[in-house]
Homo-oligomer: A and B are copies of this chain.
Amino acid sequence: MEKAQKAFFETYTDFQCYVIAQVNNGDFNGVGATHYNIVEYLYRNGPATGKTLAQKFHISAPAISRHVKLLLEKKLLVQKQLPEDRRNFLLEVTGKGKLLVDGSENQRHSVTTRISSMLPKNELEQFTRTLRKIVDILKEE
């Protein structure tokens, strides 16, 4: 294997360990990583249906259904049945849900905040561009 490839490979796998560990361990007041990501996604992108979330997060509809059920119980989301197609339920973040995302004690959010604040702006921009390319490569399959 070529040197640049090898360096990338090692760093990437090292990084992957952290991402996985963060997902496995991150549980904040009974709100797991995927729970949090759902709330945050709906906060930033506006209301969406369960189906959209399943596609976004690449998990099955029943998995989303269980997550949403818990988030409704915790009053972090509310559900609105659409009159034009009553099979669809739009999910919306509550004030409490927004507080969860905005909260400064939020570890999940702070990881990306910390990363982006510790890199020079141009380096961050270049990194984001390459990472976007990588995501697009991954999406192709």
Q: Which residues of A contact B (CB under 8 A)?
A: 4-5, 7-21, 23-24, 37, 40-41, 44, 56-59, 111-119, 121, 123-128, 130-135, 137-139
Measured between alpha carbons, how far is A44 from B124 in the docked complex, in Å? 30
Interchain residue pairs with CB less than 8 A apart (27)? A4-B125, A5-B112, A5-B116, A8-B116, A9-B116, A10-B44, A11-B132, A11-B135, A12-B115, A12-B128, A13-B37, A15-B135, A16-B23, A17-B37, A17-B56, A17-B57, A17-B58, A18-B135, A19-B19, A19-B20, A24-B59, A114-B137, A115-B134, A115-B138, A119-B134, A126-B127, A127-B130
B124 touches A5 (CB 8 A): yes
Number of copies: 2
Measured between alpha carbons, how far is A14 from B16 in the docked complex, in Å? 14
A130 touches B126 (CB 8 A): yes
A135 touches B14 (CB 8 A): yes
